[in-house]
Amino acid sequence: MKSKIPQFLAFISGVVILVAAFIPHTPFGMFEETLTNWFMIISSFAILLGQSSLIQSNLAKISQKAPDWKYHIATLVSFGAMLIFGLLWGMENTPGILGQGEKIAENLGAKPFDYLFEYAFMPLSSTMFSLLAFYIASAAYRAFIFKTFESNLLLITAVIVMLGRTSFATVLTSWIPDSLHFLRLPELTDFIMQYPNTAAQRAILISAALGVVGASLRIILGIERSYLGGDK
Amino acid sequence: MSNDINLTKTLRERRIIFLLLVLAVAIPIIFPLGLKTHSTPLTEKAFELIESTPAGSPVIISFDYDPSTVTELQPMAIAIIEHAWRKNHKIIAMAMWPQGSQMADMAFAEVQKKFGEEKVYGVDYVNLGYKPGGMVIIQAMGRNLKTVFPKDTAMIDYDDIPILKNIKTIKEIKYVVSLSAGDPGLRDWIMTANGKFGIPVAGGTTAVSAPGFLPYVNDQNQLSGLLGGLKAAAEYELLLGYEGTASRGMNPQSVAHIFILMLIVAGNIRVWRNRKKEKMAKEVKNG
């Protein structure tokens, strides 16, 4: 019973949405509207669920003194600070429980939530993303090696595209005569991106779309039940 | 013992690479090289979409990213807002990512410095904030915009915002630009806003995600222009005739790319030398 009701709901919702896509009239249009409204409400609650899960999992790791448990304290403290500041004084345009917090904003130059967002969260997030550049540089030295035909092809293409995406590309190949303009790096890069890349991407997109159709049908028909949390 | 030596060597090499990369990025920031970029058809197509839309048209800019990709996407946001305001478009900002709303506020504040009091909140632009739900949100906007966004981020009622007075559904929007760092984002706008409601959609993505969207730039105009990464943002600035953060950022990015290419060459030489040494050692061993 515990799994039958969710399966039944998934079946009904899936079929209604599917039919409404082809017959967008009463009653299907109405059902679709109701279901999509429910989806938006459930999505909002999913954020609350995510927050509660974040607190629970981090508290568990701290209490168990799991490896690197101190980092979990930092997560919870940061989460709590943003939550409290947001609740007390709100964000740029929205007031909090204690109002707009003009005095604090005057001292800091922004409300505490906005201040932390701009001067802590933003640089930290950008730094995390930027760290990729270091790993790419290290991997370029270590892994991008001439070996097989496929790896050589990938390497040559990557070099052309990478170079073509820089401001040096035009300068480096501007000496090539107009009759051979297609050999200039920016044009070669555009060709690679527009034809071989797009052809491969299309194939991936079509395969993925067919996969999504298959997976959706399996869920609607109750064959795929992993979303219920069981192992069947 | 041999493993320890190799590990130390690897760590040393890695540290040298990291240090050189820092220099490759820092030096062009301190001493700009003045490199110029050239616009490409994909950027020109997005530019043309905004350029050809009549003044006073309501448009949507969706901020579907967060601070991690701010370096690539924020300059695009700034350039697109500037272009739309130059053409007197009425911008409705929204976000499908939680922090997108703040990104919108920052971008508007930046462009407002140029336009001053000429552009008024609620009249020339509005920030409707974040809504979870991805594609479903866009579908719901096709039925009624007000039910999805009953208030803006300043908690002003939908009906009290002048820019939204005559807008009931997304179908009245003239174009959508989604600045997208992943899912939900540009793909949802293409499939729903363009696929279902026929609204022209242009997009801005990180350089790494751009190739995945190229199939949508086709004869059916599923995507009316695509900005991929910092270079495209710099191209857009060039088309608008100013040098912004993207144009300046192209100097360190270009040098870093060249540095990475040099590392690829150095790595291959290293492997080639090692292979040669191994081969010679084998030959000596076999007599």
Judge contact between A113 and A100, C-beta under 8 A: no
d(CA B119, CA B65): 24
Whole-model pTM: value is: 0.90
Do residue A166 and residue B258 have CB atoms under 8 angstroms apart? Answer: yes
- With cut-offs at 50, 70 and 90, classify the pLDDT of residue B1: low
A142 contacts on B by Cβ (under 8 Å): 267
Q: Hey, of A134, A141, A168, which one would you mutate to test binding to chain B, going by the most B CBs within 10 A of its CB?
A: A141
Do residue A165 and residue B231 have CB atoms under 8 angstroms apart? Answer: yes
Per-residue pLDDT tens for B84-110? Answer: 999 999 999 999 999 999 999 999 999
- Tell me the three-class secondary structure of chain A, residue by residue: CCCHHHHHHHHHHHHHHHHHHHCCCCCHHHHHHHHHHHHHHHHHHHHHHHHHHHHHHHHHHHHCCCCCHHHHHHHHHHHHHHHHHHHHHCCCCCCECCECCHHHHHHHCCCHHHHHHHHHHHHHHHHHHHHHHHHHHHHHHHCCCCCCHHHHHHHHHHHHHHHHCCCHHHHHHCCCCHHHHHHCHHHHHHHHHHHHHHHHHHHHHHHHHHHHHHHHHHHHCCCCCHHHCCCC
Residue of B nearest to A162 (CA): B257
Nearest chain B Cα distance for residue A79, angstroms: 15
- With cut-offs at 50, 70 and 90, classify the pLDDT of residue A231: low
Is the pLDDT score of B187 beyond 50?
Answer: yes
Nearest chain A Cα distance for residue B226, angstroms: 12
d(CA A122, CA B66): 8
% of chain B at pLDDT higher than 90: 88
Do residue A129 and residue B68 have CB atoms under 8 angstroms apart? Answer: yes
B71 contacts on A by Cβ (under 8 Å): 126, 129-130
Q: What angle do CA A18, A40, B91 make, to 5 degrees?
A: 105
Give the ipTM of the model, two decimals please. Answer: 0.86
Q: Does the domain formed by B41-243 have CATH 3.40.50?
A: yes
Distances (CA, A) of A27 to B140, B148, B154: 17, 21, 37
Do residue A114 and residue B37 have CB atoms under 8 angstroms apart? Answer: no
Do residue A141 and residue B271 have CB atoms under 8 angstroms apart? Answer: no
Q: Hey, of A117, A165, A190, which one would you mutate to test binding to chain B, going by the most B CBs within 10 A of its CB?
A: A165
Per-residue pLDDT tens for A174-191? Answer: 889 989 988 899 889 989
Q: According to the model, what pLDDT value does residue B32 have? A: 87
Residue of A nearest to B109 (CA): A92
- With cut-offs at 50, 70 and 90, classify the pLDDT of residue A147: confident
DSSP B151: B
Is the pLDDT score of B44 beyond 90?
Answer: yes
Per-residue pLDDT tens for B3-14? Answer: 777 778 888 889
Residues B196-224 as b/e (b if ≥16 CB within 10 A, e otherwise) read: bbebbbbbbbbbebbbbbbbbbeeebbbb
B258 contacts on A by Cβ (under 8 Å): 163, 166, 168
DSSP output for B38-95: ---HHHHHHHHHHHHSPTT-EEEEEEE--GGGHHHHHHHHHHHHHHHHHTT-EEEEEE
Tokens 């013992």 locate to B1
The chain-wide mean pLDDT, for chain B, equals 93
Q: According to the model, what pLDDT value does residue A230 have? A: 60
Do residue A118 and residue B267 have CB atoms under 8 angstroms apart? Answer: no
Among B67, B154, B266, whose Cβ lies nearest the Cβ of A94? B154
Do residue B155 and residue A93 have CB atoms under 8 angstroms apart? Answer: yes
Nearest chain B Cα distance for residue A52, angstroms: 17
Q: Among residues B34, B53, B41, B51, which one has the least CA distance to residue B240?
A: B51
Do residue B148 and residue A194 have CB atoms under 8 angstroms apart? Answer: no
Do residue B136 and residue A155 have CB atoms under 8 angstroms apart? Answer: no
- Choose the weakest-confidence range: A151-155, A171-175, B63-67, B193-197: A171-175
Where exactly does CATH 3.40.50 map onto chain B?
Answer: 41-243
- With cut-offs at 50, 70 and 90, classify the pLDDT of residue B26: very high
The chain-wide mean pLDDT, for chain A, equals 90
A129 contacts on B by Cβ (under 8 Å): 68-69, 71
Angle between helices A185-192 and A149-164 (to 10 degrees): 120
Residues 6+ apart with CB under 8 A from A79: A51, A54, A55
Q: According to the model, what pLDDT value does residue A232 have? A: 47
Q: Hey, of B260, B265, B270, which one would you mutate to test binding to chain A, going by the most A CBs within 10 A of its CB?
A: B260
Among A125, A130, A168, whose Cβ lies nearest the Cβ of B254? A168
Among B37, B41, B266, whose Cβ lies nearest the Cβ of A167? B37
Do residue A137 and residue B261 have CB atoms under 8 angstroms apart? Answer: no
Do residue A201 and residue B17 have CB atoms under 8 angstroms apart? Answer: no
Terminal-to-terminal C-alpha distance of chain A: 15
Q: According to the model, what pLDDT value does residue A125 have? A: 92
Phi, psi of A125 (to 5 degrees): -65, -45
**SS3 of residue B122 by DSSP:** coil
Q: Among residues B73, B108, B115, which one has the least CA distance to residue A92?
A: B108
Do residue B155 and residue A94 have CB atoms under 8 angstroms apart? Answer: yes
Do residue A40 and residue B137 have CB atoms under 8 angstroms apart? Answer: yes
Residue of A nearest to B255 (CA): A166
Is the pLDDT score of B138 beyond 90?
Answer: yes
Residue of A nearest to B34 (CA): A167
Do residue B257 and residue A46 have CB atoms under 8 angstroms apart? Answer: no
